[in-house]
Structure 1
């Protein structure tokens, strides 16, 4: 017998042994012992059929809320399953508060863990690491965040919280670290020049928001970043990282008393000050088109118009409508018509991004440069048809089923929950916001989704930015009954 045949015999023998091992416990379990099914009963996997029309169970959240003496809003969920806790501080300290100094919010947030009195960035990192704790931070258009994950035992929790309070409440903004971080941001801005999607996105926000604070790029500009100094960062921190401007979200192995003590400690460590007002409501721009010349084989198309703020009563209906139009991946209208039937792109996506005030509704697609105009017109047509007719009953039923199935993932871990709490507190939503959303989704009908989409979208109101080469355009290929072959070339990002 050669080696190949010998190897085959060994594999078959191993498989047979495994099958016998799997079968033996069921066969040897005495009748009535435990939960083993009778021999005549169908296999357990058949029970999955019962879930076809039912949503999986969702994790019930007992959200406790209060306010600290300094004015910080606190949301807490006790979760004893793991010996750890997650903490997230959310501030109205995004780029919408830059006040003409583009990149100030980002740079201030990035410098939080670069130094405190007596500790540099390396010592801070070593301090968290030595305690098994993890620090995180980030800044966006509406908000800035700082987070901590730590073991809940007092010997780790106490020093981790003390270090976190110093980092967030009293950063020193050392000059050498500031110069280094500025250079890192400038290097990132330089890299963006080679990314047509980034170029298109920055131009799109300028066209969509004009003079509004949302038009300012969160990561600043090549001109603004080098001009920002320590004094400006300190002033921004004192104003935007004040306790009255903070939401403290806590989830984990803590009692209510321990959570109150942590919130009080952090609130007292922050600068004193009130909540900052949200930016003004933006004005809808006129429909317009901008093209950015870029040497590539593909054209990056971005379409946008003003959407909604987070507290808009149409939020659930628009979320569902967008899932059907282009937000749900494969099976959406846009993906089916643009990718599957015509092979024009690897992917096309749409999204409402609700913010403190009206955030954008955006559609993003890359296609072959010679088909850019035809693809743009097809997208406009698909939006026009969807706004006019809304989803079908089958599409709505599928979207509801998919959302019911995926919704439990939004609270699957403590990190997920603390992020949800931060958003609930920041946008001043009710504690029942998650359950309210799912209840609203399940009660929607086709007419309600169609009406909501029609109230907020117009096919002739898009601001459009394209980035790619100027080439002769070709007509749209006819749709195919079967999925088309994928377009040649590597997608550009």
Structure 2
């Protein structure tokens, strides 16, 4: 069960791999094979036969955004139960069987999708696929398991109630997407989770795990001819179609500042504005711009001005967040209550400076050097390769994107960054959610 705050600012698609293989050289090309199963399922395959293992990364579009109103958290609860017994195996029996096969399965519900991952030995492939299929197609949802997993989710929600970061995240999304599923917390609410029954959980299972929403990436010791039938065996008995997806929404962030009282020595601040879709032609220049403004860690402009020069925070970060149904450009930091107002004003000023002035040659070259040099590290193991392929496929970027991506970054010019900064950045829209007891800072309307 992912905490939304951690998801937002974790390095995208860099989950630790089960197996570590040599990182791809910066200029190496990899060959991705598109595979269509006899039953019509599509997948991207990267063959790697040097180690007798197979990694599967899959996702079902929709995720928590498909939670029915009043049943917030049902996606998270349902996916948390998929490994808690299926078919004739109870929770203990399922775990023992998985361990016997030396397999690893992962089930997770996020804001936009449900992710299913698996690592399995080649020699145990068929049995491991059968066990995973059973979890997906025939989960038991035993009463004892439901109460145990519900208890874990409730405990997490109770912790969130005392966590200023979780409070800020919930408030920011509620302000950005009023009336949209994104306004509701991914992990649900205490009232909703406590009221969920077996019928709601089974309904979510039938609605959210459907073949029309499935994206697949496979890496490892398997051929295209073997993969197609395996995919049909694994996913072919799931429902064909699901309910309508939520509409795409434009964030409503009109430059407001809100304060939620919280008795902590440091205020937690979420800030942001509308973002840019992942398939927008300007996304790569915007990505480079973000690295320079706030996404580049300690070397970014915001970190230099807010952290290094004035010591107002231990860290400030920004990110482009192109969610499926609404794109954001957002960031966060924490600062002492008596200094947070100054940090917010500096953030606004840097937003304005980037919008009006673009970047220097030195900033651009440093950004491109880092972004192109770091990219091969995302392919340093089977799990990372599979996650990258799934993300590229999900974004609709094409089979050749892996081999084109660094060239796209290198082609970005100062003029591109200036144009995109002027187009994207809107200091008048930049909104702040503050959780704490900030001094000299009151909630305000349009700035």
**TM-score with structure 2 setting the length:** 0.89
Q: Which structure's relative contact order is higher, taking Cα pairs within 8 Å and 6+ residues apart?
A: 2
Picking from 46, 53, 57, the partner of 1:77 is 46
CA change 1:275–1:254 in 2 (3 A) is: farther
**d(CA) in 1 for partners of 2:396 and 2:138?**
27
**Contact 2:307 2:314 (C-alpha < 8 Å) held by counterparts:** yes
Picking from 173, 179, 183, the partner of 2:151 is 183
Shift of 1:58: 4.2
The answer to whether 1:465 aligns with 2:433 is yes
The answer to whether 1:96 aligns with 2:65 is yes
Instruction: Give the structure 2 partner of residue 363 of structure 1.
Output: 331
The answer to whether 1:440 aligns with 2:443 is no
Number of aligned positions between the proteins: 417
Picking from 257, 261, 265, the partner of 1:297 is 265
The answer to whether 1:148 aligns with 2:118 is yes
**d(CA) in 2 for partners of 1:322 and 1:231?**
44
Q: Deviation digits for residues 218-274 of structure 1, max 9, x if unmatched? A: 100011111222112212221221122211221101111111221121122323325
Q: Which runs of 5+ in 2 are unaligned?
A: 1-23, 442-447
**Contact 1:56 1:405 (C-alpha < 8 Å) held by counterparts:** no
Matches within 5 A, 1:352-391: 352-391=320-359
**d(CA) in 2 for partners of 1:228 and 1:218?**
15
The answer to whether 1:131 aligns with 2:75 is no
Picking from 194, 201, 211, the partner of 2:162 is 194
**d(CA) in 2 for partners of 1:230 and 1:421?**
35
**d(CA) in 1 for partners of 2:213 and 2:39?**
10
Picking from 242, 254, 276, the partner of 2:210 is 242
CA change 1:145–1:276 in 2 (3 A) is: farther
**Contact 1:297 1:369 (C-alpha < 8 Å) held by counterparts:** yes
Give the aligned CA root-mean-square deviation in angstroms.
Answer: 1.8
**d(CA) in 2 for partners of 1:351 and 1:143?**
19
Q: Which runs of 5+ in 1 are unaligned?
A: 1-54, 474-493
Q: Which runs of 4+ in 1 moved over 4 A?
A: none
Shift of 1:469: 1.6
**Contact 2:248 2:324 (C-alpha < 8 Å) held by counterparts:** no
CA change 1:361–1:72 in 2 (3 A) is: same
Shift of 1:377: 0.7
Picking from 354, 358, 367, the partner of 1:399 is 367
**Contact 1:56 1:404 (C-alpha < 8 Å) held by counterparts:** no
**d(CA) in 2 for partners of 1:411 and 1:132?**
23
Q: Deviation digits for residues 376-426 of structure 1, max 9, x if unmatched? A: 111100111011111111000011111111010111111011111222332
Which secondary structure state, in structure 1, belongs to the residue aligned with residue 326 of structure 2? coil
Q: Which protein has the larger Cα radius of gyration, Structure 1 or Structure 2? A: 1
**d(CA) in 1 for partners of 2:129 and 2:111?**
27
Matches within 5 A, 1:41-440: 56-100=25-69, 101-153=71-123, 156-273=124-241, 277=245, 279-440=247-408
Which secondary structure state, in structure 1, belongs to the residue aligned with residue 299 of structure 2? coil
Deviates further, 349-358 or 282-291: 282-291
**d(CA) in 2 for partners of 1:456 and 1:108?**
38
CA change 1:283–1:472 in 2 (3 A) is: closer
